[in-house]
Amino acid sequence: MTESNPSTQIVILCSDMLFLSKITGTAKELGYSFCTALSCKKAAASLSNGTSQLLLIDLNQENLDWELLTSIHQNDASLTSIAFGPHVDTERLAKARAVGCTQVLPRSQFSAQLPQLMDAAFGEAT
């Protein structure tokens, strides 16, 4: 985790190490603090009140805890979350919308717009 700006934090729920390095590299480049999580439980534990946060969710993970993701969104209405996954996996993309994700994007669009998505999530906080 970096300590660039303690009032903002990105929690990255992603197990794809190559893609994770792209996300963390972008976060570092933009000066955002971040932490990584390999499970929904770890991501939930990393979220804290009083901090402007962005939760990034890789829908390509096999064991996503959809109930916990629903609870995370219900318990923090101010949380911005962006879920991303393969454009052909319409079931998981729809499920992410149903659990309350702020944005749901195909992986290619997420990747292409990553810096803008991070900046937009913290636009009012920075």
pLDDT, residue 3, reads 41
Q: Classify domain 8-121 at the CATH topology level.
A: Rossmann fold (3.40.50)
* pLDDT tens digits along 41-96: 999 999 876 678 999 999 998 889 999 999 999 988 889 999 999 999 999 999 99
Q: Where are the domains of the chain?
A: 8-121
pLDDT, residue 6, reads 54
pLDDT, residue 50, reads 62
pTM above 0.85, yes or no: yes
122 secondary structure, DSSP code: T
Per 3-state DSSP, the chain is made up of helix, strand and coil in percentages (nearest 5) of 45, 20, 35
pLDDT, residue 4, reads 47
Question: Phi and psi for 34 in degrees, rounded to 5?
Answer: -155, 160
pLDDT, residue 113, reads 97
Is residue 32 a contact partner of residue 8, using CB atoms and an 8 Å limit?
yes
Which two tokens mark 96?
Answer: 């992410």
Which two tokens mark 82?
Answer: 């962006």
Counting Cβ atoms within 10 Å, is residue 15 exposed (0-12), middle (13-18) or buried (19+)? middle
